[in-house]
Structure 1
């Protein structure tokens, strides 16, 4: 259920994004999904990769700092109001969504989104109460292999 996500801070200048992406490519590590958020002088690059431990080592060996955060991938009904239904579960449980981003792949008729919460355990509990199971890393990666 929990998926490790790598986060890097990179300078907000031309040529900086290619550095970690090139490191992973040369190591034969595919990026499953990513998000890049800009700030005034830097960007936050968030990556989900299948071999996260090896990816972390490769990035750190190049002298870059990388943090690991556990996130959830959750199926969202791909129709108007689908995201609202899911967000309402967290709102009613008092759980803050710190950030989220869409996944490019779909599982059946559902979209998949990646969420980071202020309290991951509470989010998992709220989802279980609503009879929603987060997407497991195995399901996510196997589905990508089939696509």
Structure 2
């Protein structure tokens, strides 16, 4: 249930984001989810891709700074308050969240989460009978 996520460090310069997606497209790598956080000087592009190792290699060959980290993904109902209930579970378990991003398809929301203790989070999600999402399932969207 642990998913490899790419983090790409980008200068805040016109065309850099396009270059990343162009490289991935040329390598036939699909992006299932992504998020960009930025400051005035640089940004961090976080992505779930169909082949993280191939993507990292391709981007590094083009002189991008790339890191792979571990995240988890889960589904919640696409209804008001559903994410709050999940975050309460994490809080009660003493798990700190570093960041989240997500998207919704129909009646479900899919959340990607980076936390300080992934194994504990997985255990807690199983205990609460929550729907964890495998990387291969994310590629279907």
Q: Normalising TM by the smaller chain, what interval?
A: over 0.9
Q: Could you tell me the TM-score, scaled by structure 2's length? A: 0.93
Between the aligned partners of 1:30 and 1:115, the Cα distance in structure 2 is 20
Corresponding residue for residue 138 of structure 2: 140
Between the aligned partners of 2:134 and 2:27, the Cα distance in structure 1 is 25
Q: CA RMSD in A?
A: 1.4
1:16-35 alignment, distance < 5 Å: 16-35=16-35
1:75-120 per-position Cα deviation (integer Å, ceiling 9, x unaligned): 012111101110000000111111011135x3x6211111111111
The answer for unaligned runs of 5 or more in structure 2 is none
> Aligned-pair distance for 1:133?
3.4
Between the aligned partners of 1:84 and 1:21, the Cα distance in structure 2 is 32
Q: Could you tell me the TM-score, scaled by structure 1's length? A: 0.89
Corresponding residue for residue 122 of structure 1: 120
Corresponding residue for residue 76 of structure 1: 76
The answer for unaligned runs of 5 or more in structure 1 is none
